[in-house]
């Protein structure tokens, strides 16, 4: 499954030959889809590896071979905060995802069928390990900076715990060393919305009949939790989508307000672009990740990274990865001897701010680099 | 449909004979189920009317005829903050609900069939009007205090706008003069979860096959939004429900953590106790309510209540009826000449605090009375 195939010109593929050991199982010959920008210098010490959040592909930014806009276009490029004139920047599609890397929607070479639910339980550490393979393949032994936002920040942290001392710096945006029950509950409910769709069929849905209703509902819940009340007050207020109060649009109890219309329209754009089983695996991986699995406690784990410095950025209006989680990560790293800069930004776009509020994130990240 | 019949000993019924005009339609001979505590004095000036949130029945507190615990047991009774030795306290089941009052699950006398989606669009004002009928029937022309929490606070406010000057005091807990897009989005999604359940059948589900999956999902989302992250951090943390990480309990992507187990168990208690169509009507009524419909603007509307005094209580951790909404209500009433006391409590139980955090709400409400 490769939904972005038509605009994947800059995409490259690494096949990891043989058995790839995951935390909770193994797979054969996984593929990692990645893109690079800039040039690795002779000392091979100018690499930056970007780990993505749950849903992006490796296409963080445009390039001459793929001029389409990337998901972090404002941040990555020549002269941009992550400056591709200076750094060799790598971004890869997470193991378990569906944009070229191996995941539940990929063919299991052992059976010739899609993995679906036969894919092993995915852990954030597995994605980190794939990233480490990739860097080794590209000739990078010690990476200058690991960058990760949301799930990607967890993966970056996992990388430092699995391969301590092989990364000099960490830039964590709106992430956490572990998630707490509020965000677990929301993600768990998103997964249940997909599982309860009769079309999910316990993961065995055909390619042409995926659980679109469940994906739409899960995406809507995601969109609600990725933003903030304050932003929506400003953008939508109580603006109505229809003056017909008799039943709303789209049948009884359909859409009354603009906010409902917005969520529906944007939710529908998402379905069909992401595989439902991949979503389930990646979502659960976030819940399962707990840095304290490395060392017995969060405090202990965060002394084991071997990092020289870290920049932890969070957003006050983010209730999915709230300020307390940023504080926990920053304080733990600092106590572990890492030189830490900690910033809580006043963005009102909630968890998604790192994708949207460039006026605040661009200078913060530029200052780090 | 009267699911609480077996413990409805204290329940009384008022039938409003003839046509009952609603904001957006009319119904015939509606019934209002209510309970009372204490005695109306000779001057009939010691009445307190309690409007409920979305889901409670009229059984706010126990009594000699119905000793079962009420939903606000700590607040209503002899010597309690709403002191039934001093006040004649009335609570009724909202029009549109399913605990004895007429709603979508009731028989339409015109057809002999359940109303279901033939029930007119329900507005908060309709519930307020039913409450006014009830008080008149009980011999109360001017009510000492209207009390309402969550949706009930909206109804109490609507009462003052429909019948200005007939209520002296308002006690509003965790409510609002109108809701904003964040809470609308969440309630809209809850309704969609019910509507997407194939068993909803466009409202025509049989009594023995209601849309239980949809109700469970909607209830889970409700529970997540009624509480706060901080409370769950303290109660659940990352405690696991199972050590078997292979697939969670309850099949693939089932329950991993205690918080998921808690939501599932409590959600299941709710389904079967509330009619799905009633839920849809009441939920949408909250979205549609906007005090500014009375007078053209919020500021103007809040000058029209005829109240002497009001106590507006909110909770800092409530993101469904957040502090800004409390502030808007309190400031508007005050600007309208009402003597206002405004309190933001530090409860960590979110929107549900008024049902749980008695250590903070009891003294606040006792001080008002």
For residue B327, name the pLDDT band (cuts at 50, 70, 90).
Answer: very high
Indicate whether B167 and B206 sit together in one domain.
no
The pLDDT value given to residue B265 = 95
Which tokens is A146 given?
């690991």
**A233: closest CA of chain B, how far (Å):** 6
pLDDT exceeds 50 at position B200: yes
A–B: how many Cβ contacts below 8 A? 158
The pLDDT value given to residue A297 = 96
Indicate whether A31 and A114 sit together in one domain.
yes
Angle at A236 between CA A75 and CA A183, to 5 degrees: 60
Say if A279 falls within a structural domain.
no
Say if B277 falls within a structural domain.
no
For chain A, what percent of residues have pLDDT higher than 90? 92
Indicate whether B69 and B158 sit together in one domain.
yes
Say if A277 falls within a structural domain.
no
Q: Which residues of A touch B189 (CB under 8 A)?
A: 217, 220-221, 224, 263
Range of the domain at B227: 184-270
Say if B275 falls within a structural domain.
no
Which tokens is B335 given?
């600007």
For residue A243, name the pLDDT band (cuts at 50, 70, 90).
Answer: confident
pLDDT exceeds 90 at position A158: yes
The pLDDT value given to residue B2 = 45
Question: Read out DSSP for A221-250?
Answer: HHHHHHS-HHHHHHHTTT-BS-S-TTT-BS
Say if B235 falls within a structural domain.
yes
The pLDDT value given to residue B6 = 46
For residue B247, name the pLDDT band (cuts at 50, 70, 90).
Answer: low
Give the residue-averaged pLDDT of B284-303.
Answer: 97
Indicate whether B243 and B161 sit together in one domain.
no
Give the residue-averaged pLDDT of A65-90.
Answer: 97
User: Among A270, A285, A305, which residue terminates a domain?
Assistant: A270
Cα–Cα dist B138/A194, whole Å: 50
Is residue B34 packed enough to be buried (19+ CB in 10 Å), middle (13-18) or exposed (0-12)? buried
Question: Read out DSSP for A35-104?
Answer: EEES---TTS--EEEEEP-SS--S--S--SS--SPPTTTTTEETTSSEETTTSEEEEEPPTTSSBSS-ST
Indicate whether B175 and B192 sit together in one domain.
no
The pLDDT value given to residue B271 = 86
pLDDT exceeds 50 at position B233: yes
The mean pLDDT value of chain A amounts to 94
Contact A298, A291 (CB under 8 A): yes
Indicate whether A189 and A246 sit together in one domain.
yes
Residues 309-368 of A with CB under 8 A from B: 319, 322, 324
The pLDDT value given to residue A4 = 45
| Stretch among A3-12, B61-70, B98-107 having the lowest mean pLDDT | A3-12
Structural domains in chain B (count): 2
Q: Do B121 and A260 touch (CB under 8 A)?
A: no
Q: Which residues of B touch A235 (CB under 8 A)?
A: 181
Q: How many CB atoms lie within 10 A of CB B103?
A: 27
Q: What is the pTM of this model?
A: 0.95
Give the residue-averaged pLDDT of A115-134.
Answer: 97
Cα–Cα dist B139/B148, whole Å: 21
B217 touches chain A (CB under 8 A): yes
The pLDDT value given to residue A3 = 45
The pLDDT value given to residue B199 = 96
Indicate whether B165 and B20 sit together in one domain.
yes
Say if A159 falls within a structural domain.
yes
ipTM for the assembly: 0.93
pLDDT tens digits for range B25-42: 999 999 999 999 999 999
The pLDDT value given to residue A271 = 86
Indicate whether A39 and A85 sit together in one domain.
yes
pLDDT exceeds 70 at position A252: yes
Indicate whether B78 and B140 sit together in one domain.
yes
Give the residue-averaged pLDDT of B204-219.
Answer: 96
Nearest to residue B94, comparing CAs of B119, B121, B66, B58?
Answer: B58
For residue B251, name the pLDDT band (cuts at 50, 70, 90).
Answer: low
The pLDDT value given to residue A143 = 98
Q: Do B202 and A251 touch (CB under 8 A)?
A: yes
The one catalytic residue among A63, A94, A106, A150: A150
The pLDDT value given to residue A247 = 56
Q: Which residues of A touch B286 (CB under 8 A)?
A: none
Q: Report which of residues B204 and A249 the model is more confident about.
A: B204
Residues 13-32 of A with CB under 8 A from B: 24
Say if B281 falls within a structural domain.
no
Indicate whether A143 and A63 sit together in one domain.
yes
B185, B256, B266, best to mutate vs chain A, most A CBs in 10 Å? B185
Residues 183-202 of B with CB under 8 A from A: 183-186, 188-189, 191-193, 195-196, 198, 202
Say if B160 falls within a structural domain.
yes
- Assign residue A11 the CATH number of its domain: 3.40.50.1820
For chain B, what percent of residues have pLDDT higher than 90? 92
End-to-end CA, chain B:
36
The pLDDT value given to residue A251 = 65
Indicate whether B197 and B148 sit together in one domain.
no
Indicate whether B296 and B328 sit together in one domain.
yes
- Assign residue A192 the CATH number of its domain: 1.10.1740.110
**A120: closest CA of chain B, how far (Å):** 8
The mean pLDDT value of chain B amounts to 94
pLDDT exceeds 80 at position A6: no
pLDDT exceeds 50 at position A1: no
């Amino acid at each position: 499954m490769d939904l972005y195939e038509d605009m994947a010109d800059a995409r490259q593929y690494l096949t990891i030959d043989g058995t790839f050991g995951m935390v909770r199982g193994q797979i054969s010959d996984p593929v990692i889809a990645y893109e690079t920008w800039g040039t690795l210098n002779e000392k091979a010490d100018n690499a930056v590896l970007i780990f993505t959040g749950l849903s992006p592909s490796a296409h963080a930014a445009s390039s001459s071979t793929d001029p389409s806009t990337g998901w972090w276009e404002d941040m990555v490029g020549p002269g941009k905060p992550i400056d591709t004139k200076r750094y060799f920047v790598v971004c890869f599609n997470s193991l378990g995802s569906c944009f070229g890397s191996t995941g539940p929607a990929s063919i299991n070479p052992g059976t010739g069928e899609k993995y679906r639910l036969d894919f092993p339980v995915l852990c954030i550490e597995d994605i980190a390990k794939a990233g480490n393979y990739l860097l080794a393949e590209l000739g990078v032994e010690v990476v200058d900076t690991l960058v990760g936002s949301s799930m990607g920040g967890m993966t970056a942290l996992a990388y430092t715990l699995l391969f301590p001392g092989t990364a000099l710096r960490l830039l964590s945006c709106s992430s956490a060393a572990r998630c707490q029950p509020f965000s677990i509950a929301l993600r768990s409910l998103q997964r249940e919305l997909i599982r309860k769709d009769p079309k999910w069929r316990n993961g065995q849905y055909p390619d042409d009949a995926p659980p679109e209703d469940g994906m739409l509902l899960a995406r809507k819940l995601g969109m609600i939790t990725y933003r903030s009340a304050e932003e929506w007050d400003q953008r939508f207020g109580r603006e109505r989508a229809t003056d017909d109060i008799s039943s709303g649009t789209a049948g009884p109890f359909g859409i009354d307000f603009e906010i409902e219309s917005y969520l529906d329209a944007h939710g529908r754009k998402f379905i069909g672009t992401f595989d439902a089983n991949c979503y389930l695996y990646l979502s659960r991986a976030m819940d399962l990740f707990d840095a304290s699995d490395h060392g017995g406690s969060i405090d202990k784990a965060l002394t084991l990274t071997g990092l020289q410095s870290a920049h932890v950025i969070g957003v006050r209006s983010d209730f999915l990865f709230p300020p307390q989680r940023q504080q926990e990560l920053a304080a733990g790293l600092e106590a572990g001897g890492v030189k830490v800069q900690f910033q809580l930004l006043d963005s009102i776009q909630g968890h998604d701010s790192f994708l949207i509020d460039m006026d605040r994130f661009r200078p913060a990240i530029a200052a780090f680099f």
